[in-house]
Structure 1
Amino acid sequence: MTEVLREIRDQVMYLTIHGPATMNSMTPESMSGLEAALDEAEASDDLRAVVITGTGDRAFSVGIDITFLGDCFGDPHVVFLPYLDRFHAVLRRFELLPVPVVAAVNGLARAGGFEIILACDLVVVADDTRVGDIHLEFGVPPGAGASQRAARKLGDQRAKALMLTSMWLDAETMVRWGLALEAVPRADLMAAAERIVDRVRGLSRPGIAVTKLAIGGAQDRTLSQGLAFEREMFERFLATEGADEGYAAFVEKRRPEWGSADVSALL
């Protein structure tokens, strides 16, 4: 059984996919853990970021648990498809969460583990990381969004090469292709993730939410539509309490003070 460990420290939620006996494979229990974590994250008015990683030094996640996969194929409509629906919903919640989700990829990530990475906002990887879709090695297509997210993030040719040939990407290629922001020595992985989230700690929560959602909105809109969406989001931001705090702090020559904020009206 794989579970998801979570804790909140200094405005950041840390999630760990914890199933060391099965290389952090995904199970219904781990899906429940991600759903519970997202419930908590969405209810928090103080959170500024989420970091997700895997237990140990072998794998981030190797995707769906092989034993559970047998149950899935044994009853596709009662087990497999409902599980995929939950997976889709969790990854979409990552994308719509009003704070950045940072993946710290600590080893092998394949299939469902790779699909989690695609849904994260920022990715840092250990320099010995290898990732791949590889669904077709098992004779099945991707089922949790990889075909759509990879095409948007990598372009048509690279997405097809990645999925149709079941190729693996090393850490250097991930950075070169834009799948990862940075590759670092394994011992420095969490420090690299920490450097990212440390830059958003204490910042304007409405500002973070609007910026992330506006950038995400560009994926599904023409330029004209996207510009109108940014204008709409900016107007919503102006209606939030403390929207002028950064300006006021600059004029008054002091550090801005951005505390907790309910950003539900922005979503």
Structure 2
Amino acid sequence: MTTVRFTAENQVLRVVLDGPGAMNSITPDVVAGLNAALDAAERDTSLRAIVVTGVGRAFSVGMDIDFLGACFADPGGTFVPFIRGYHRLLDRLQDFPVPSIAAVNGLARAGGFELLLACDFVVAADEARVGDIHLGFGMVPGAGASMRAHRKLGDQRARALLLTPTWLDGPRMVQWGLAIAHAPLADLAAEVAKITDSLRGRSRPAIATVKALLNAAGDLPLAEGLRLEREMFSRFLDEVPDMAEGYRAFVEKREPQWGNV
């Protein structure tokens, strides 16, 4: 079985799917563990990033095979409620006020593919293998793959991943726009650190506001999006002192002080 471990250090919450024997497969306990990690991240206002990764040869292969059997034995009572709960978790991760980074160390498919799609950044090991594979089992995605892949990859590449048995390694993930960077597995943590290091010391409310605007951008016509940006800019200026503090810190040639966040 897979357990979820998480620790916070230097403004980064590291979340680890630890079930190498089960290829970090997903169960209700894993969803609960990931929600607990996000609960901890909400309480710790020092955090500026969340990193999600796996142990062993997989990032996550999706649903646990034994639990999947229980789901098919009771579709309405077990399968549908689980998928709804997993959907809520991934929506929460997508909308979380600090960026999330999927450090894809190995195989990611089905629900594991959907997990990385909900993250803001993906950094992949060269050796990683990522695909959807639902259709190969006569199944359809239920936790966001069709919508998020289309938005992140564009129409043709999303169709290739969801309709054909296409697998991507780390370099091809970058080529397709699914990952921001790739590196040999031995250097994956260092590549992820380039992103987390760049986020440390920044205003958390400003990060949250920019992320919310970017999340909204894909669903709004340009005029509506620009109106939303103006509204959020004005609200931020009125309610958060960080813009004025950032200006003063620059003029006074000192590090900004963001208060308790």
> Into which bin does the TM-score normalised by the smaller protein fall?
over 0.9
CA contact (8 A) 1:204 1:259 kept: no
Does structure 1 residue 44 correspond to structure 2 residue 64? no
| Matched position secondary structure for 1:16 | strand
Deviation at 1:45, TM superposition (A): 2.0
Residue correspondence of structure 1 range 59-208 to structure 2 within 5 A: 59-208=58-207
Structure 2 counterpart of 1:62, one-letter code: V
Q: Which residue of 1 aligns with 2:230?
A: 231
Using the TM superposition, give the Cα deviation of residue 235 of structure 1 relative to its aligned residue in structure 2, in angstroms.
1.7
Q: 1:123-142 CA deviation, whole Å, 9 max, x = no partner?
A: 10111111000001111011
Shift of 1:50: 0.3
* RMSD over aligned Cα atoms: 1.0
- Indicate the SS of the match to 1:103: strand
The structural deviation recorded for 1:156 is 1.2
Q: How does 1:1-80 map to 2 (within 5 A)?
A: 1-56=1-56, 58-80=57-79
Q: CA deviation at 1:166?
A: 2.5
- Structure 2 residue matching 1:244: 3-state secondary structure: helix
Structure 1 position 177, deviation (Å): 0.8
How far apart in 1 are the matches of 2:45 and 2:171? 37
Mapped partners of 2:102, 2:120: distance in 1: 8
3-state SS of paired residue (2:218): helix
Deviation at 1:44, TM superposition (A): 2.6
- Deviation of 1:8 after TM superposition, in Å, equals 0.6
Cα distance in 1 between the residues matched to 2:105 and 2:142:
23
Secondary structure in 1 matching 2:51: strand
Q: What is the CA–CA distance in structure 1 between the aligned matches of 2:165 and 2:235, rounded to whole Å?
A: 43
* Counterpart residue number, 2:240: 240
**Residues 5-31 of structure 1, C-alpha deviations (whole Å, 9 max, x = no match):** 001101111000111111100011111
User: Percent of aligned pairs with the same residue?
Assistant: 57
Specify the code of the residue in structure 2 equivalent to 1:16.
V
Q: Which moved more, 1:113-122 or 1:241-250?
A: 241-250
How high is the TM-score relative to the length of structure 2?
0.97
C-alpha offsets along residues 139-175 of structure 1, whole Å, 9 cap, x if unaligned? 1011100000011111111111111113111212110
Residues matched between the structures, number: 260
Q: Which amino acid aligns with 1:242?
A: D
Q: TM-score, normalised by structure 1?
A: 0.95
- Is the 1:135–1:166 contact (alpha carbons within 8 Å) kept by the matching residues of 2? no
| Residue 189 of structure 1, CA deviation | 0.4
Letter in 1 for 2:181: E
Is the CA contact (8 Å cut-off) linking 1:205 and 1:260 kept in structure 2? no
**Which runs of no fewer than 5 residues in structure 2 stay unpaired?**
none
Where structure 1 has 5 or more consecutive residues not aligned to the other structure, the ranges are 262-267
